[in-house]
Chains A and B, each alone.
Chain A
Amino acid sequence: MAWHHDKHSRHAPLSLAVLENVKRGSSLGDTERTFLHIDMDAFFASVEIRDNPLLEGKPVAVGGSNGNRGVITAANYIARKYGLKAGMTAVEARRRCHHAIFLPVRGPKYTYVSARIMAELERFSPDVKPLSIDEASLEITSWLKLYGGARQIGEEVKRTIWNKFRLPCTVGIGPNRLVAKMAANLGKPDGLKLIREGEAADIFAPLPVDKMVGIGRATSQALYKIGIHTLGQLAGAPTSLVKSRFGILGPVMQKLARGEWSGRMRKDEDREPGEKSIGHQRTLGQPISDIEEMKEKLVALAEMVARRVRRAGMVGKKLTLTVRYTDFMTISHQSRLKCVTDDEDIIIGNAWRLLCEVIEPGREVRLLGLSLGSLGPKQEDDRQLDLFFAGRKLRNEDLYRAMDDLRDRFGERVIARAMGRRWQPNSRDRSRGDPINPLARGVPTMADYHTVSV
């Protein structure tokens, strides 16, 4: 029997008798809700090691293969012994482990493997929520009887992932998604950990507060200042104390520390239309302080954002620029546009204005991000708002459509503003001494160059 991977029917093929068993099991109400969290171990690095056995037994990091540029996106457990971890700069990683093997990031490959793994997980539950490229959460309550228990499902998931993909993973099982994720964190690497109802608070108690999902570095520091170092101390602290310091978040953190979580994961379709945003951010290979260079990056980001917004048939009104300096200080700056748009000219112009308002001259930037929010479906009326420039707007729309068509057919890199791509001289131009500088000054408009490379 064929198993179709469409969003309406994502169940594994099962016989009627088995389905009856499952139905009976769940209708008796004798099973507590059970969740399984799967986390692939050092996912990118594991995929590379699987594909190249020469890497086995060696410290491997994915990212930072371009000399001392960029950051590490994954490190295997041997590399982690030397302190390498995701997010670390290549310079720091090389300093800590000079003999590590640094590999290029091959995004499409990891995305493909991830999609295959997620499809495989649907065998175990119709309720699979991918949380990131290497993590997913499954509700397995109705399937406990079929497999004979939660541990059996966990073992079967691990076995299947290994047999089909030759990749290690850790599985955590708990009475809610939070406890299941914490169990997976505690079971790493290549483990299976089960935390039963009522056990979570005792297991979490000796852990440092920063081990809890959702408690980051800043919150941990604030907790240390009031004498709270472990999750047990957080759970037992007077509510008035944490509430006075963290507001309504305080009691929520206490609940988390006890392993109580009644929240549900929000699906995209649950979001209000006005909440949606589409954005991109890019960690720069090498920190930059030159404003013209930042403009190039910003134009490339704006192009990507505008294209995705157009593809979704949406228009947005709220533009957010994110700038992260080399000391990790991060600034977000927002602007509400005069009218809804999917026009990259308008996005570029406003993003540039935001950057000029927020940037500290001379300071090095390591990340730039741009997102368009308050999205809504595009209406015919949206194009008639600007009476004086309607002709130009229509011409732009035709141009964008043509550019989008080209990208759909030949890929994202086939056409771009010269503004958004640093010009690479060919050998003939080099011999003439690079006479051309295509980088325009000021706020770019549609009059800027467009370049085609096939």
Chain B
Amino acid sequence: MHYEKLEEAIEVIVHFSPQRIKPLRFLWRGRAHRVETVRSRWTTLEGRRRCYHYAVIAEGVGSCELALDIDEMVWQISSVVIDS
């Protein structure tokens, strides 16, 4: 098993609630994937630039990490786990 680092831009459908952002579905390489579970979330700060990270399990992808750059409002799929 290893992590493949991707950092590819994706489009995401998100549920906003007070103090919480939950990714529901994302479009990656022309295919839509449903987020089954959000395992955890954390934030990082690079200078003043804040990123929200989500460890999720998604249909057709498995375990992967999504990241939202709050300044740019850009979503990325940062990495996927490849079970070998």
Contacts and interface: CB of A to CB of B under 8 A. Distances in A.
A409 to B, nearest CB: 5
9 contacts: A54-B62, A58-B1, A108-B43, A112-B43, A113-B40, A113-B42, A166-B39, A166-B40, A414-B47
Q: For the complex of A and B, list the 5 residue pairs with the smallest distance between their C-beta atoms, beginning with the closest.
A: A51-B55, A411-B46, A112-B42, A411-B47, A410-B47
Contact of B55 (A52, A58, A108): A52
Contacts, number: 53
Contacts of B40: 47, 50-51, 113, 166
A408 B48 contact: yes
Nearest to B51: A108
Interface of A is mostly: helix
B68 to A, nearest CB: 15
A109 interface: yes
A54 B83 contact: yes
Contacts of A53: 39, 57, 63
Point out which of A52, A101, A103 has the most chain B C-beta atoms below 10 A from its C-beta.
A52
B20 interface: no
Contacts of B46: 410-411
B51 to A, nearest CB: 9
A13 interface: no
Contacts of A51: 39-40, 55, 63, 65
Interface residues of B, number: 20
A113 B63 CA distance: 19
Interface string A348-377: 000000000000000000000000000000
Nearest to A112: B42
A103 B3 contact: yes
Interface in B29-43: 39-40, 42-43
B1 A55 contact: yes
A411 B49 contact: yes
A104 interface: yes
A54 B47 contact: no
Interface string B1-21: 101000000000000000000
A52 B39 contact: yes
B34 to A, nearest CB: 17
A383 interface: no
A166 B53 CA distance: 17
A115 to B, nearest CB: 10
A58 B44 CA distance: 28
A54 B1 contact: yes
A407 interface: yes
